Homo-oligomer: A and B are copies of this chain.
Amino acid sequence: MAATENVRIVLASRPHGEPTLENFRLERAPLPVPRAGQVLLRTRFLSLDPYMRGRMSDARSYAPPVQIGEVMVGRTVSEVVESLHPDFRPGEVVTADAGWQVYALAEGAALTRKLDPAGPPPSTALGVHGMPGFTAYAGLHEIGKPRAGETVVVAAAAGPVGATVGQIARLRGARVVGIAGGAAKRDYLREELGFDVALDHRDPEFAAQLQAACPAGIDVYFENVGGPVFDAVLPLLNDFARMPVCGLIAHYNDTAPPPGPDRTSALMSMILRRRLTVRGFIQRDFIALYPRFLREMGAWLREGAIRYREDIVEGLENAPQGLIGLLRGDNFGKRVVRVA
């Protein structure tokens, strides 16, 4: 039965602090009709990512906010339903930025990645073999630069970026300490991913455990969390340590700065005295590396050198709760919505 309508989730209002279900609205709309050069896509998988919290606010950032009433943005794995572009045929599977909806139009010229049916499972193009995996790869390659024998610490280590950071760092010969919330994730890091040490940031003794786990200090801290983990890491950083900063999920729902004292000057003083490099990035800043990443990660996945875990949410209607939970850290692996 051919579909006659689209289903989509729009931003109903801007959150104050943690998003709630009321910030989203599910709508029905007519099925869009492609023009010349366009393709009609049906979403198979929608990626849920922490950066989406930023798009719900209207603060200046590296991308414009979603406007009220607009479809929430998001990277998808989509199937071509109808094509008015010579490079695409129905049934082919591509990555797209179709957003939180079942059907979407795309310019064929803008679709840069067709998935190989013989390659890794399509959903990995949203995770370990896509943006989160590339975030890990690019941040380590361009900023972290771990050398053999150095100590790399990664937070949110059971998430798609952190898990990949840790595994790549081990492939580069570094010693890896992963931080995650809860015993199950901690066990996963040690037993499935082969991290050297895994710690639970909820443990009351976490800061002391981290110090014990890093007897030679920390050379690379891959920052995607902020908050108390950052506080525990900072005093352990070695001279010339590198800190790629690609996320601060602990702060995305902040409505006001934390109470004092103001430790900004203490942080700057640490940056000076230990000659730290603290550098923010998003993966697309390093897009020239992307083809190399796809090849190298593709090989690692085939060989089993890099492992991954997915956390599937069933149905587009459950995407809002999926994002709210993700921002609380309740995912275990890459959170993806199975849409179709």
Binding site for B on A (CB under 8 A): 54, 60-62, 223, 226-227, 230, 239-240, 245-248, 250-251, 254, 256-269, 271-282, 285
Partner of A261, one of B227, B230, B245, B262: B262
A284 CB → nearest B CB, Å: 10
Complex Cα gap A261–B259 (Å): 4
Are the CB atoms of B281 and A275 closer together than 8 Å?
yes
A174 CB → nearest B CB, Å: 21
Which of A54, A259, A262 gathers most chain B CB within 10 Å? A262
Complex Cα gap A60–B273 (Å): 8
Complex Cα gap A262–B293 (Å): 38
Complex Cα gap A262–B266 (Å): 11
Are the CB atoms of A263 and B257 closer together than 8 Å?
yes
Measured between beta carbons, the chain B residues less than 8 angstroms from A261 are: 256-260, 262
Which B residue's beta carbon lies closest to that of A223?
Answer: B268
Are the CB atoms of B257 and A271 closer together than 8 Å?
no
Measured between beta carbons, the chain B residues less than 8 angstroms from A257 are: 260-263, 265-266
Partner of A265, one of B54, B247, B248, B260: B248
Measured between beta carbons, the chain B residues less than 8 angstroms from A263 are: 257, 262, 264
Are the CB atoms of A248 and B268 closer together than 8 Å?
yes
